């Protein structure tokens, strides 16, 4: 329980947005590509990817490599092979449809085709009976028949009711754009008020219409008329328009429509949930799975420094930043994705001490800061300045015992140095690099570089970074000369 609370508290709002956004993208891909071949291939790629993750988790190195290669190739192939299909999906729909709309997969009954076929049959005086179910279930009432599930077309309807067709006496059950069943036997009506001219087909039509909310269309073989039966009403249809209108009214309120809408809604909800679960799982495996630690040396960037000042010294140039995250994330992270930025806007001239906080460190998403070493950084700011300093030779070593170094002339005797004002204020002499006495036996001259200490000091452009030293040596006197 405690772990769950800890886990939930560690989820940032960015994580929630991350999951929701990607779930929605996945859901949209499903909505746009469902029913196409692309979608099936996408599912295949997803399964491959999942298999690869499983192989990695199980430590199957070769398998995971192979699957990874296949997945990469498949992703490439899908784009090449299905480019036309992808283009048609993306081009045919406007931006709103792509981002928000749901293209309905309604199966539209081809009313025009049915009407044409009915009147053609009527014209040829070929008897026919077609049932368009409503909301009621007809399975209990219809007997026999042969399941067919063929697409509705004028030719098919003609051939079903053709005299020599074994199923021509039975009814054709039409749902959506498909003829579900042919040669079906309908219950006959027992009504007495039906015209005597009505034969068995009419009675069957009236019988089913009485018992259900189905619409039954009958083409009379003898008179070549088209009759509709719905509920208790049995009427002859005079023209095409009337039949079209009646069929449209009926189909618009049938369970065919309702059923499809309901089914589609359910399918979309399931797809949305599946996308959410899948993306959450992927997110979890990326960000939380197999926690790993890594340490980088990140150079410190100083920002918002007062332009009148300059950094003359800092305690460190780089910080050791310890990060943790999932193995996948940590493996993909590069040191240049981590930034340490120290805000110097409030820093004053002199030494400033900064405690490094997480706010000073930019991390890639999903990575957690574990440690920073050192945790404080000292930065010394100073105002740039110049100073002219006398030069002194830094003699070292041992002069021969019988000799005395009596003097030295330095050219130039003074040099101009640049650096922080605070440091310059503490300096009164510019020393040379160390000059050894061991080899000196007589007066002479040498050239020596200046020692820039601290290293932030610089020799001004109009000064030389080395000096010439003329030195003078004489024999050591053992006693005071006579006055």
Partner 1 sequence: MRRFWPLISPVILFVMAAGMGGAEAQEKNDVPANVIEQKLTLVEATVCEKMKRSTPFNKAIVFSSGLEKVYCYTSFDPVPREMVIYHEWYRRDKLKAKVRLTLKPPRWSTFSSMRIRKSDQGPWRVNITDPEGKILRIVRFSITE
Residue 442 contacts partner 1 per CB under 8 A: no
> Which listed residue (213, 431, 452, 458) binds partner 1 by CB under 8 A?
431
Residue 40 contacts partner 1 per CB under 8 A: no
d(CA 194, CA 192): 6
Three-state secondary-structure class, residue 389: strand
Q: How far is the CB of 431 from partner 1 (least distance, A)?
A: 6
Residue 448 contacts partner 1 per CB under 8 A: no
Three-state secondary-structure class, residue 204: helix
**How is the beta sheet containing 233-237 ordered, strand by strand?**
143-151, 178-185, 171-175, 128-132, 215-219, 226-230, 233-237
Q: Which of these ranges, 133-141, 152-160, 259-267, 475-483, lies near partner 1 under the rule CB under 8 A?
A: 475-483
Q: How far is the CB of 467 from partner 1 (least distance, A)?
A: 13
Residue 429 contacts partner 1 per CB under 8 A: yes
> Which listed residue (131, 338, 393, 415) binds partner 1 by CB under 8 A?
393
Q: How far is the CB of 478 from partner 1 (least distance, A)?
A: 9
**How is the beta sheet containing 318-326 ordered, strand by strand?**
361-362, 339-343, 291-303, 318-326, 368-373
Residue 477 contacts partner 1 per CB under 8 A: yes
Three-state secondary-structure class, residue 243: helix
Q: Which of these ranges, 132-140, 198-206, 351-359, 393-401, lies near partner 1 under the rule CB under 8 A?
A: 393-401
Structure tokens at 340: 């340490």
Residue 390 contacts partner 1 per CB under 8 A: yes
Q: How far is the CB of 400 from partner 1 (least distance, A)?
A: 11
d(CA 329, CA 310): 38
Q: Which of these ranges, 112-120, 280-288, 321-329, 389-397, lies near partner 1 under the rule CB under 8 A?
A: 389-397
Burial of 400 (0-12, 13-18, 19+ CB in 10 A): middle
Choice between 301 and 433, CB closer to partner 1: 433
- Give the long-range contacts of residues 196-205, CB within 8 A, separation 24 or more: 197/222, 197/223, 198/227, 198/234, 201/127, 201/128, 201/129, 202/227, 202/229, 202/234, 204/129, 204/171, 205/129, 205/229, 205/234
> Which listed residue (106, 353, 428, 445) binds partner 1 by CB under 8 A?
428
Residue 334 contacts partner 1 per CB under 8 A: no
Residue 480 contacts partner 1 per CB under 8 A: yes
Q: How far is the CB of 392 from partner 1 (least distance, A)?
A: 5
> Which listed residue (426, 439, 462, 482) binds partner 1 by CB under 8 A?
426
Choice between 195 and 481, CB closer to partner 1: 481
Q: How many residues bind partner 1 (CB under 8 A)?
A: 23
Residue 358 contacts partner 1 per CB under 8 A: no
Choice between 235 and 476, CB closer to partner 1: 476
Q: How far is the CB of 404 from partner 1 (least distance, A)?
A: 5
Choice between 137 and 394, CB closer to partner 1: 394
Residue 317 contacts partner 1 per CB under 8 A: no
Q: Which residues ranging from 202 to 241 are in contact with partner 1 (CB under 8 A)?
A: none
Burial of 346 (0-12, 13-18, 19+ CB in 10 A): exposed
Say which DSSP state 336 is in.
G
Q: Which residues ranging from 394 to 423 are in contact with partner 1 (CB under 8 A)?
A: 394-399, 404-408
d(CA 39, CA 19): 21
**How is the beta sheet containing 403-411 ordered, strand by strand?**
403-411, 466-475, 444-449
Choice between 284 and 431, CB closer to partner 1: 431
Q: How far is the CB of 401 from partner 1 (least distance, A)?
A: 8
- Find, among 346, 347, 350, 353, the residue nearest to 426 by Cα: 350
Residue 350 contacts partner 1 per CB under 8 A: no
Q: How far is the CB of 394 from partner 1 (least distance, A)?
A: 5
Choice between 378 and 394, CB closer to partner 1: 394
Q: Rounded to 10 degrees, what is the CA torsion of 77, 81, 85, 89?
A: 20
| Contact by Cβ (8 Å): 108, 176 | yes
d(CA 170, CA 166): 9
d(CA 54, CA 59): 9
Q: How far is the CB of 479 from partner 1 (least distance, A)?
A: 8
Residue 452 contacts partner 1 per CB under 8 A: no
Three-state secondary-structure class, residue 466: strand
Residue 392 contacts partner 1 per CB under 8 A: yes
Cis peptide before 454 (omega within 30 of 0): yes
Residue 352 contacts partner 1 per CB under 8 A: no
Three-state secondary-structure class, residue 63: helix
Q: How far is the CB of 483 from partner 1 (least distance, A)?
A: 8
Q: How far is the CB of 476 from partner 1 (least distance, A)?
A: 6
Burial of 422 (0-12, 13-18, 19+ CB in 10 A): middle
Residue 304 contacts partner 1 per CB under 8 A: no
> Which listed residue (29, 86, 349, 437) binds partner 1 by CB under 8 A?
437
Residues near partner 1 (CB under 8 A) = 390, 392-399, 404-408, 426-429, 431, 437, 476-477, 480
């Amino acid at each position: 329980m405690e772990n769950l609370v800890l886990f939930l508290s560690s989820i940032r709002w960015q994580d929630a947005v991350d999951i929701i956004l990607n779930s929605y993208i996945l859901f949209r891909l499903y909505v746009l590509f469902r029913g196409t071949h692309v979608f099936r291939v996408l599912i295949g790629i997803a399964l491959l990817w999942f298999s690869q993750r499983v192989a990695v988790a199980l430590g199957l190195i070769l398998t995971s490599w192979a699957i990874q290669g296949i997945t990469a190739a498949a992703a490439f192939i899908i784009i090449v092979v299905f480019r036309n299909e992808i283009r048609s999906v993306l081009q045919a729909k406007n931006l709103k449809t792509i981002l928000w709309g749901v293209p309905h997969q309604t199966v539209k009954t081809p009313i025009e085709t049915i009407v044409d076929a009915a009147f053609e049959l009527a014209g040829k005086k070929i008897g026919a009976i077609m049932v368009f179910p409503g909301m009621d279930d007809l399975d209990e009432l219809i007997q026999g028949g042969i399941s067919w599930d063929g697409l509705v077309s004028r030719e098919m309807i003609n051939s079903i009711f053709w005299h020599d067709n074994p199923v021509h006496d039975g009814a054709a059950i039409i749902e959506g754009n498909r003829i579900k069943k042919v040669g079906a036997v309908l219950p006959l009506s027992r009504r007495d008020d039906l015209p005597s001219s009505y034969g068995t087909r009419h009675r069957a039509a009236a019988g089913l219409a009485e018992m259900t909310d189905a619409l039954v269309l009958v083409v009379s073989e003898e008179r070549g008329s088209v009759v509709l039966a719905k509920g208790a009403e049995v009427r002859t249809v005079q023209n095409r328009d009337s039949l079209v209108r009646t069929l449209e009214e009926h189909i618009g309120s049938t369970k065919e429509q309702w059923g499809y809408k309901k089914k589609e809604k359910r399918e979309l909800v399931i797809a949305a949930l599946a996308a959410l679960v899948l993306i959450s799982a992927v997110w979890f495996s990326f960000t939380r799975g197999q926690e790993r630690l890594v340490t980088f040396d990140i150079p410190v960037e100083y920002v918002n420094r007062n332009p009148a000042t300059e950094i003359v010294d800092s305690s460190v140039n780089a910080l050791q930043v310890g990060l943790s995250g999932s193995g996948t994330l940590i493996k993909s992270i590069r040191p240049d994705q981590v930034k340490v930025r120290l805000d110097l806007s409030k820093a004053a001239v002199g030494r400033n001490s900064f405690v490094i906080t997480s706010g000073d460190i930019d991390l890639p998403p999903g990575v957690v800061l574990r440690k920073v070493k050192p945790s404080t950084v000292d930065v010394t700011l100073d105002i740039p300045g110049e100073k002219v300093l006398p030069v002194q030779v830094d003699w070292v070593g041992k002069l021969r015992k019988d000799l005395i170094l009596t003097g030295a002339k330095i050219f130039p005797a003074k040099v101009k140095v640049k650096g922080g004002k605070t440091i310059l204020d503490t300096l009164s002499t510019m020393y040379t690099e160390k000059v050894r006495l061991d080899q000196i036996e007589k007066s002479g001259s040498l050239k020596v570089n200046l020692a820039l200490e601290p290293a932030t000091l610089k020799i001004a452009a109009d000064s030389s970074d080395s000096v010439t030293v003329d030195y003078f040596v004489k024999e050591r006197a053992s006693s005071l000369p006579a006055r």
